[in-house]
Amino acid sequence: MNRMTLFVVALGASGCGSWVTLVDDGGGGGGVDSTSSVSGTATSTSSAGGGGGESGGEDCVDAFPVLDGNGAPLDIVFMIDNSSSMAEEITAIEQNINVNFAQIIGNSGVDYQVIMVTAHGDNPTEVCVEPPLSSATTCNGPPGEVAGQFHHYDVRLNSWEGICKLLDRADGPEDDQGLHGAGWLPWLRVDAPKAFVMVTDDALACGGGGAWLYDIHVEQNPEPNVAAFEPAALEWEDWLRSLSPVQFGTAENRNYKVYSLTGVPAQLGDETQPYGPGQPIAGGLPYAKCDSAARNGMIYQWLSKSTGGLRFPVCQTQSYDAVFQAIATSVISDVEVPCVYALSAEGEIDAASVEAMLVSEEASQPLPQLTSEEACGAETGGFFIEGNVLKLCPTTCEALRADETSRIDVSGDCL
């Protein structure tokens, strides 16, 4: 992993929001832990700074979720803007979608599939996903699809029409390759939670399905109001659910979340820190944005906020590794709150230094590291390590899953 000042891992439970824990390196020494509550549940994180363990080494351990069950389904739909200003962002997506997204989800045990709705090809503004996620041997011709793992509905999405065209083509006609006449909707599985990942550097001016989504020239409004864009987002959701209530649920019980990479300004000056559902619409007035974006995407923001997803700045492509890791670990927990975490580091992990803490809105409780599962006992809480895997004791796992405000923080040193 490309080591950065801030490491982000965000997790959320099915039907809930998520906790996002952020640890700022501060340039070395002890990290400054800044935790943002986003109406949610369990989180495993690690810091990218120093000083977490007892051995005095650098805090270097990353923790990624592994599900207890096998084969839990998850459908992930990408909508990517193909406008001329998106070449750098598309390159960063192609570079990160395998190792910092699909690999993490696959290692968790989730039965995932990725559905791309964007232009395919070797042009800088077209998306070509490489193996192992796809089976592509060339970016010319049809995308390299893998049944049950990767599908690509090839359609060009211009700046202002993205999510309208996404739904307008959900049930056909055929894509730009002359394939998939029934659209991308048939690839979805009824029993799978849905995660939409929207990537654009602009706003919207489009309509369909009874929705009119317009925020393209809002900065010209003499009395702008960020709340005015929420109704348009809700109209888009109504349109989505009308396509297939059995796939997408109801307004009271959604079966989807929207994650967005848009022109939002970096939060607190750090491009890797997401905005969670519990935080205000970013940019405020008069519609501040990140540097290379055309606009900050108010309607996309409302979609993420309303559905429990995360929002990231699209501009900082050098940080897409952390962004894609955060989205991956968040969508995993839409399937199940994990009680097992794979430990990863750039060096050899000092197992004795690994620390875990159960944190909730009520209290923070350090968890003892035990020697084995047998040491947990009927009442004893804590965790134990087997190889490079951290496992919570049954009583700790139960406490984590019983409290939607709880999360697990993990840190450790390298030898």
What local confidence, expressed as pLDDT, does residue 268 receive? 76
Question: Which of residues 310, 332, 354 is at a domain's end?
Answer: 332
Same domain? For 34 and 126 the reply is: no
Q: What is the largest CA-CA distance in the chain?
A: 67
402 & 255 share domain: no
387 plus 369 within the same structural domain:
yes
How many domains does the chain divide into?
A: 2
Percent of the chain with pLDDT over 70: 82
- 246 part of a folded domain: yes
What is the four-CA torsion angle of 275, 279, 280, 284, rounded to 10 degrees?
-40
Segment 233-278, tens digit of pLDDT: 999 999 999 999 999 999 999 999 999 999 999 987 677 889 999 8
How far is CA 372 from its chain centroid?
A: 33
User: Is residue 201 in a domain?
Assistant: yes
Strand partners, 152: 116
Tokens 């405000």 belong to 405
Q: Do 194 and 140 share a domain, yes or no?
A: yes
CA angle 126, 129, 134 (to 5 degrees): 145
166 and 299 belong to one structural domain: yes
Do 104 and 226 lie in one domain? The reply is yes
Strand order through the sheet with 311-313: 150-154, 111-118, 73-80, 194-199, 256-262, 311-313
> Do 118 and 198 belong to one domain?
yes
Domain annotation covers residue 12: yes
Q: Are residues 17 and 105 in the same domain?
A: no
Instruction: Examine residue 1 and state whether it is found in any structural domain, yes or no.
Output: no
What is residue 347's predicted lDDT score, i.e. its pLDDT? 86
Three-class secondary structure of residue 35 per DSSP = strand
Residues 260 and 299 in one domain: yes
Structure tokens at 302: 């409302």
Please check whether residue 313 lies inside any domain of the structure: yes
Residue 147: inside a domain: yes
What are φ and ψ of residue 234, in 5° steps? -65, -35
Q: For the domain that residue 245 is a member of, what is the CATH number?
A: 3.40.50
Domain stop point among 332, 364, 387: 332
Axis crossing angle, helix 230-243 with helix 298-307, rounded to the nearest 10 = 60
- Pair 61, 169 in one domain: no
What is the pLDDT, as a whole number, of residue 285? 60
Decide: residue 98, CB within 10 A, 0-12 exposed, 13-18 middle, 19+ buried.
Answer: middle
Within this chain, do residues 26 and 11 fall inside the same structural domain, yes or no?
A: yes
Rounded distance, CA 371 to CA 394, Å? 15
Phi-psi region of 334 (alpha: psi -120 to 50; beta: other; left: phi over 0): alpha
346 is a domain residue = yes
User: In a 3-state reduction of DSSP, which class is residue 14?
Assistant: coil
Among 312, 332, 352, which residue terminates a domain?
A: 332
- Nearest Cα to Cα of residue 301 among 240, 369, 229: 229
CA–CA separation, 137 and 151 (whole Å): 15
Q: Which of 338, 309, 398, 400 is nearest to 105 (CA)?
A: 338
| Residue 21 domain-assigned (yes or no) | yes
60 and 200 in a single domain? The answer is no
Question: What are the Cα distances from residue 20, in Å, to 45, 249, 267, 371, 408?
Answer: 8, 26, 13, 29, 11
Length of the chain: 415
What pLDDT score was predicted for residue 220?
Answer: 53
What does the pLDDT read at residue 215? Answer: 80
Mean pLDDT by 10 residues, the chain (415 residues): 27 30 28 26 33 50 78 93 97 97 92 97 97 95 95 96 97 97 97 96 92 72 72 96 96 95 86 87 78 91 95 94 93 86 90 92 89 85 93 91 84 91
Structure confidence at residue 270 (pLDDT): 75
- Residues of the domain holding 388: 6-67+338-414
Measure the CA–CA gap between 127 and 154, rounded to whole angstroms: 9
